[in-house]
Structure 1
Amino acid sequence: MIHLKHIIITGTSRGIGESLAIQLMDRNHHLICISRTTNQRVIDQAKEMECGIDYFNYDLTHIQDIDQLFEDIFRQIDLYSNDEAIYLINNAAMLTPVSPIERIKTERIIENIHLNLLAPMIITANYLKRTKDMNVDKRILNISSASAKYLLPSQSCYSTAKAGLDSFTKSIDIEQKLVTYPAKVAAVYPGMIDTHLQSEIRSVSKDLFPYVNEFTQLSEEGKLQTPEYTAHKLIEILLSEDFGKTVVIESIAQ
């Protein structure tokens, strides 16, 4: 009898999310991927590796329909009876807009906070509500950022959202210690990674972001981690026996 690990991952169209999905492929895993654009490479590779996959093409800035999305997701999970674990990785994020706050349009501020903070909160609420009575291994990994703690000009939206995600993670940890079948939870700062988020920040003008040259230099000197390395380290944390003991992990380096 095969016992399955169901793993829900947001933001799998590229970067860390794509690398997480690829490295988590296994015959005993059922991946549930969510991203704004469908990643055919991930779907094809999962089929090749005989890893169960359901792909949900969904824009997480549309927070009002996340409840329905999770109803659809758990319909897929309910098809299996021999569940060993249900994991959730809140990875989807956006860095932009990078600009002093007074120069940002209201709808761009709303979009950033929707994706970076409100979506993970609503997703987590749905996950916990639907797994409340399940006596299985439950883990929530929130991909945070050192920007939650180390502040730079022109990143107020992103930093505020990530600081909120850290506080949310700590709150959930406290709540889950009081329930019958608790989920373990951790937020992780993955470090400086060579992803679309980094290339976005390097394309911002110095007028909008005074530190743009420093970020360009890091890239040129090869000091950014690869998404593959980062995903490998995050998976080590997720699957570790100690998962959840440290609620906010500020470095993946070991």
Structure 2
Amino acid sequence: MKIFFITGTSRGIGEALAEQLMTEEHHLFCLSRTENEQLIERAIHSKTSMTYYPFDLNQLLQIEPMFTALFSMIPQDIEITGFYLINNAGMLAPVAPIELNSAQSMIENVSINLLAPMIMTANFLKHTKEYEGDKRIMNISSGSARYLLPSQSCYSTSKAGVDSFSKSVSLEQLNQPYPAKVVSVYPGMIDTGMQAEIRATSKADFPYVDQFIQMAEEGKLQTPEYTAAKLIELLFSEDFGSSVVVENM
């Protein structure tokens, strides 16, 4: 059985990832602030083993005990063929010139986008250190880490941090007896709540808002389902980890 830990499964890419990974050969640990009741129902109908764990990733100091709890739920009598962590949860706000952003909004952005994936990764690796099989970590980054726009300084900086963090951890794993593979991936522009959020931003706060509205109106955004399928294809690919930052799936 393959074991998956997926954050941000209440909607968007995370929900689509969980749904497409549903099979009797997988156990899914789904994490989001609120339970996704529809996802739980789909797991029951597909006979997928799923543990839905409501958790607010802003509670950084609780991630370590959470992982201890999650690993204690894994049955001891099953054969595990792989452990997979998908750090998908993210937030765009605040979208505004930096001097207009509150300290609290900046702290929440970096906590969700960067610090939580760092702590999740640390605990995932700690609990699987002695496991000899397949171990993979996929961090959902963004093209905003490289291609910068005004009013997205917090989001771009935190995603650039995810890329650097992934590279560093990948280097560390080279020296481990049972290394994990790590990838930070740019999923593209997707029709999710995050895109709706940026389209609702005022032009005064985000000068490029009209271009984002136009892309949506012209149907140039990917669906969460299409994006999830491409991410899963990457996750299971033979060359996963050969390039730590994947800009084009």
- Code of the residue aligned with 1:29 in structure 2: it is H
Unaligned runs of 5+ in 1: none
Q: What pairs up with 1:170-181 in 2 under 5 angstroms? A: 170-181=167-178
Which 4+ runs in 1 deviate beyond 3 A? 78-81
SS of residue in 2 equivalent to 1:83? coil
Separation in 1 of the partners of 2:152 and 2:75?
41
Q: What pairs up with 1:28-107 in 2 under 5 angstroms? A: 28-107=25-104
Report the equivalent of 1:109: 106
Against the structure 1 CA distance between its residues 80 and 55, is the aligned structure 2 distance closer, same or farther, given a 3 Å change threshold? Answer: farther
- Code of the residue aligned with 1:83 in structure 2: it is I
Give the Å deviation of 1:241. Answer: 1.0
SS of residue in 1 equivalent to 2:106? helix
- Describe the superposition over 1:9-53 as per-residue Cα deviations: whole angstroms up to 9, x where unpaired: 000000000000000001000000000111011111011111100
Task: Name the Cα RMSD after superposition.
Answer: 0.7
Q: Which deviates more, 73-82 or 49-58?
A: 73-82
SS of residue in 2 equivalent to 1:55? strand
1:119 aligns with 2:83: no
Give the Å deviation of 1:79. Answer: 3.7
1:251 aligns with 2:237: no
Report the equivalent of 1:197: 194
SS of residue in 1 equivalent to 2:81? strand
Separation in 1 of the partners of 2:125 and 2:20?
25
Aligned length: 249
Unaligned runs of 5+ in 2: none
Separation in 2 of the partners of 1:164 and 1:229?
26
Separation in 2 of the partners of 1:31 and 1:86?
10
Give the Å deviation of 1:78. Answer: 4.8
Out of 237, 240, 243, the residue aligned to residue 234 of structure 2 is 237
Give the Å deviation of 1:68. Answer: 1.1
Separation in 2 of the partners of 1:34 and 1:78?
19
- Code of the residue aligned with 2:81 in structure 1: it is E
Tell me the percent identity: 58
Separation in 2 of the partners of 1:164 and 1:122?
13
